[in-house]
């Protein structure tokens, strides 16, 4: 049932059985395999001992891959052995005081639901036209990634610095930053973009920013007071709680997909600005169940997700942040 056998095969098997009392398997046609199960087990053992090894480097190495197995075959073998590629996280060590501040913030916001919709999220970032630093590690579970492989932030040759803000009622703004941002420059950006959104500010919105020095200086605080803008008391080193990180992740993926098309920083920023204002996925960041496809993995950036992270943090004194996956470790 469910199998279709040709008449010639049935005749051959019956004839052999009738004449020789046994059936001799027919030799398989085609090219014989260059590597057997023992060879594949050797591959798996290599990746278990060196989980940060690149499949591409393995495939190109005559010593590691003497039979010239294809990348597809190697990956399939690793998948069959329950080894999968996980992005190597970047660690941000926290002091005890910073842990306490994150914990206090989590406890305060654990029950927030609709209130997150009143927050204007903002942040600075830089976007590189090159795909450096996105390494993977072949392990059964991402918690098995050795800390010795965790990546450090690098500088990239072709990149632009940007500031942006988002809110579920519109108010998307982006600005290119040409110089190192100081308090005066930061206030100029806010005057140009935040004060334009009077409709947001009159809706009792709260402005979110991280604890960077230009954001928390006396000069900046005085400007907020003078303009009657309420800011959210944000815990240090907590990008995992900021929804705009999902926007940066989406923009970076779009840039990396087109990385060979930019000749200079102006072209790079024009592309980023166009995607920021016109890409429909940007506007869905605040939907309850959004999933952004990112390098064949799914990254959740939701209002509900913030509440979830706050809940997790309030029950666990976490000490590291994984920026790539937007999760607290």
pLDDT band per the 50, 70, 90 thresholds, residue 239: confident
* Tens-place pLDDT, residues 62-103: 999 998 899 999 999 999 999 988 777 666 677 888 888 888
Coil, strand or helix: which one is 130? coil
43 sits in which H/E element: helix 37-49
Stretch 222-247: mean pLDDT, rounded?
87
Highest mean pLDDT among 72-76, 247-251, 287-291: 72-76
Stretch 92-118: mean pLDDT, rounded?
79
Per-residue pLDDT at 220: 95
Highest mean pLDDT among 163-167, 212-216, 323-327: 212-216
Q: Which domains does the chain have, with CATH numbers?
A: 33-82 (no CATH), 96-328 (3.30.420.10)
- Specify whether the CB–CB gap between 16 and 24 falls below 8 A: yes
* Tens-place pLDDT, residues 133-143: 556 777 777 77
Name the percent of the chain lying above pLDDT 90.
26
- Specify whether the CB–CB gap between 39 and 66 falls below 8 A: no
- Specify whether the CB–CB gap between 169 and 179 falls below 8 A: no
Stretch 234-252: mean pLDDT, rounded?
84
pLDDT band per the 50, 70, 90 thresholds, residue 30: low
Distance (Å, whole) CA 301 – CA 279:
16
pLDDT band per the 50, 70, 90 thresholds, residue 210: very high
Mean pLDDT of the residues in the chain: 76
Stretch 20-48: mean pLDDT, rounded?
78
- Specify whether the CB–CB gap between 127 and 162 falls below 8 A: yes
């Amino acid at each position: 049932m469910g199998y279709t056998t040709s008449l010639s095969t049935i005749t051959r098997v019956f004839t052999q059985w009738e004449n020789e009392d046994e059936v001799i398997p027919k030799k398989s046609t085609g090219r014989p395999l260059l590597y057997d199960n023992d060879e594949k087990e050797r591959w798996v053992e290599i990746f278990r001992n060196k989980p940060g090894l690149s499949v591409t480097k393995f495939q190109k190495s005559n010593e590691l891959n003497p039979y010239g197995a294809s990348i597809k075959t190697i990956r399939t073998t690793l998948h069959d052995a329950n080894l999968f590629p996980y992005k190597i996280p970047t660690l941000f060590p926290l002091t005890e005081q910073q842990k306490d501040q994150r914990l206090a913030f989590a406890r305060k916001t654990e029950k927030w639901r609709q209130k997150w919709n009143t927050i204007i999220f903002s942040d600075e970032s830089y976007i590189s036209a090159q795909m450096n630093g996105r390494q993977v590690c072949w392990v059964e579970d991402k918690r098995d990634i050795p800390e010795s492989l965790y990546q450090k932030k690098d500088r990239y040759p072709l990149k632009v610095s940007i500031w942006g803000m988002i809110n579920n009622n519109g108010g998307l703004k982006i600005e290119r930053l040409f110089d190192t941002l100081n308090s005066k420059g930061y206030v100029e950006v806010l005057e140009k973009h935040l004060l334009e959104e009077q409709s947001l500010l009159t809706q009792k919105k709260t402005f979110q920013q991280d604890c960077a020095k230009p954001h928390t200086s006396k000069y900046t605080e005085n400007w907020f007071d003078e303009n009657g803008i309420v800011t959210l008391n944000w815990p240090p080193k907590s990008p995992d709680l900021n929804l705009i990180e999902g926007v940066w992740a989406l923009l970076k993926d779009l840039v990396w997909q087109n990385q060979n098309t930019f000749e200079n920083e102006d072209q790079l920023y024009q592309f980023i600005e166009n995607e920021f204002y016109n890409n429909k996925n940007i506007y869905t960041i605040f939907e309850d169940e959004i999933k952004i496809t990112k390098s064949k993995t799914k990254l959740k950036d939701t209002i509900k997700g913030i509440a979830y992270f706050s809940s997790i943090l309030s029950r666990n004194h976490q000490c590291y942040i994984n920026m790539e996956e937007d999760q607290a470790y």
